[in-house]
Amino acid sequence: MAQQDDFAPTEALVDAPAQQARQTLDIRFTGSGSEYFRIWIVNLLLTLVTFTLYVPFARARRIAYFQNNTLVGGDPLGFHADPWKMFRGYLLILLLGVGYWAVSNFLPAMAWLAVVVFMLLWPALWRASLQFRLRNTSWRGVRLSFQGDLLSAYLSLLPFFLPALAFVLFLPAVQEGEQMAPDEAQRGMQIIGVTVLAFIVLLPWLLARIKRYQHGGYAFAQERTQLRVGNGRFYLLFLKTGLVSLLVGVIAAALLFALFFLVMGGQSGVRAVLSGAVRPGVLGIVLLATGAGLAYLLLPLVTMPYFGARLQNLSWSGTQSPKIAFASALRFRDLFRVTLVNWLLIIVTLGLYWPFAKVRAARVKLEALSLEVQGPVDQWLSRAQQSNKGVLGDAAGDFFGMDMGL
Give the pLDDT confidence of 150-202 residue by residue, as tens digits: 999 999 998 888 887 777 777 666 555 566 667 777 777 888 888 888 889 99
User: Domain range spanning residue 147?
Assistant: 80-173+184-228+378-406
Q: Specify whether 111 is located in the same domain as 203.
A: yes
pLDDT at 373: 92
Q: Specify whether 286 is located in the same domain as 394.
A: no
Asked whether residue 263 carries a pLDDT value surpassing 70, the answer given is no
User: Of residues 98 and 167, which shows the higher confidence score?
Assistant: 98
Q: Specify whether 218 is located in the same domain as 98.
A: yes
pLDDT at 29: 98
- Is residue 308 situated within a structural domain? yes
If residue 76 lies in a helix (H) or strand (E), which one and from where to where? strand 75-79
If one counts the domains in the chain, the total is 3
Closest CA to 148 of 394, 378, 329, 387: 394
pLDDT at 182: 75
276, 292, 316 — which closes off a domain?
Answer: 316
pLDDT at 6: 45
Asked whether residue 287 carries a pLDDT value surpassing 90, the answer given is no
- Residue by residue, DSSP assigns 329-372 as ---HHHHHHHHHHHHHHHHHTTTTTHHHHHHHHHHHHHTTEEEE
Poorest-confidence range of 113-117, 129-133, 151-155? 113-117
Mean pLDDT of 23-44: 96
CB atoms within 10 A of CB 209: 20
Q: Percentage of residues in the chain with pLDDT exceeding 90?
A: 54
Angle 111-135/150-170 helices, nearest 10 degrees?
Answer: 160
Q: Specify whether 257 is located in the same domain as 301.
A: yes
pTM of the model: 0.86
Asked whether residue 207 carries a pLDDT value surpassing 50, the answer given is yes
pLDDT at 279: 57
Instruction: Give the sheet arrangement for strand 145-146, strand by strand.
Output: 145-146, 218-220, 223-224
pLDDT at 115: 80
Q: pLDDT, tens digit, for every residue of 351-383?
A: 999 999 999 999 999 999 999 998 887 777 777
Q: To the nearest 10°, report the CA torsion of 160, 164, 165, 167.
A: 140
pLDDT at 163: 81
Q: How many residues are given for the chain?
A: 406
Q: Specify whether 131 is located in the same domain as 114.
A: yes
- Is residue 7 situated within a structural domain? no
Asked whether residue 229 carries a pLDDT value surpassing 50, the answer given is yes
φ/ψ of residue 51, rounded to 5? 55, 50
- The answer to whether residues 353 and 345 touch, using CB atoms and an 8 Å cutoff, is yes
**Cα(37)–Cα(42) distance, rounded to whole angstroms?**
9
pLDDT at 298: 87
